[in-house]
Amino acid sequence: MGCDGGTIPKRHELVKGPKKVEKVDKNAELAAKWKYCALNQEKLKRPIVACELGRLYNKDAIIEYLLDKTAERPNTEVVAHIRGIKDVKELNLTDNPAWEGESRNIKGDRYEDMHCAMFICPVVGLEMNGKHKFCFLQTCGCVFSERALKEVKTEICHKCGDPFQDDDTVVLNGSKEEVENLQKAMEERRLKAKTAKKSKKSKDSKVTSKPQDSTGNCEMKNISETKSTSLNGESSSINGSETAPGPSTSGECSKTMKTLAGPLIGSKRSIQDMRDKSEAYKSLFTSHSSAKRTKDQISNWVTHTPYHF
């Protein structure tokens, strides 16, 4: 059995075997993680931020995502854990003096190092290209290589001098196990913050409710006391005898009692019955005899064209 021209097909041309597994180029994978934003797949440029899981983003892309989460964007599952701008940290990176930019090999007449990175470790000098592990501090955002943190052990940042702890270090673009550990730590941290916020709110509500109750009881006591004193004052004025002052109270209750007792007692007594007031002062009020008019003195006001509907 032959084809046109008398050629004989071979077995591998007729029988299809299993498909070969496509292997991802390691250099391309490292470049995608360390040179491009994890959200919009654009090249990383300052300002660069990192999340609690150690992924790198452009700050502009994160702000656009937070402003409009309904927009259709690729790779939204990568930023599903980011609730606000506080969940990311702006990185304090160290520039690589050997980095000449993207247009360093325009002519193509020299060797181009694909592993040359924009940033390096400020302590050891390793390039941040994915071949070495890098970490950032959540307190200040400074980025160091893992080798620098292990060799020079300290509780103060090597670059800015801020204090930090071991829990504040986050691995950048770590493995699956490291990402899972970071996710567990993130969930525990958020639970602690939520419980602390709830306990703080409950304490504040208790503190604010206690003084309100105490002032309310004090006011009720003051009102009852002033009512009793006003009734005693009226009965004594009718009998012609003056009442003796009641027992004095201490603190805020006594002050509020004095302020409430004045208007309550004064409102029950008529101004015309006050002996210490002059006749001219009493004539200013409508309860005076000069203010009362007879029916003849009262005039009826009638308009020419009344508008009554």
Q: What is the pLDDT of residue 308?
A: 55
Q: In whole angstroms, give the CA distance from residue 294 to residue 122.
A: 102
Q: Give, in degrees to the nearest 5, the angle at Cα 34 between 30 and 39.
A: 110
The residues of the chain that CATH labels 3.30.40 are 24-99+114-191
Q: How far is CA 152 from CA 95, 124, 131, 159, 185, in A?
A: 21, 10, 20, 12, 25
Q: What is the pLDDT of residue 268?
A: 56
Q: What is the pLDDT of residue 210?
A: 59
Q: What is the pLDDT of residue 231?
A: 45
Q: What is the pLDDT of residue 85?
A: 93
Q: In whole angstroms, give the CA distance from residue 96 to residue 119.
A: 5
Q: In whole angstroms, give the CA distance from residue 59 to residue 82.
A: 13
Q: What is the pLDDT of residue 266?
A: 45
Q: What is the pLDDT of residue 235?
A: 43
Q: How far is CA 100 from CA 45, 127, 151, 257, 275, in A?
A: 15, 14, 30, 82, 101
Q: In whole angstroms, give the CA distance from residue 6 to residue 155.
A: 80
Mean pLDDT by 10 residues, the chain (309 residues): 69 80 79 90 92 94 91 87 93 89 63 80 91 92 92 88 90 92 92 90 77 51 52 44 44 51 53 83 80 66 57
Residue range 24-99+114-191 in CATH 3.30.40: yes
Q: 3-class SS at 35? A: coil
Rounded CA Rg of the chain: 43
Torsion from C-alpha of 203, 207, 213, 219, nearest 10 degrees = -160
Contact of 268 with 234, CB cutoff 8 Å: yes
Instruction: Give the sheet arrangement for strand 143-145, strand by strand.
Output: 143-145, 134-137, 169-171
Q: What is the pLDDT of residue 307?
A: 58
Q: What is the pLDDT of residue 225?
A: 55
- Full-model pTM: 0.59
Query: Residue written as tokens 């007879």?
Result: 294
Number of Cβ within 10 Å of residue 120's Cβ equals 22
Q: What is the pLDDT of residue 48?
A: 95
- Which residues make beta-bridge pairs with 58? 48
Give one DSSP letter per residue of 6-27, joined into a string.
S----HHHHS--PPPPPPPPHH
Tokens of 270: 């008529």
Q: What is the pLDDT of residue 83?
A: 92
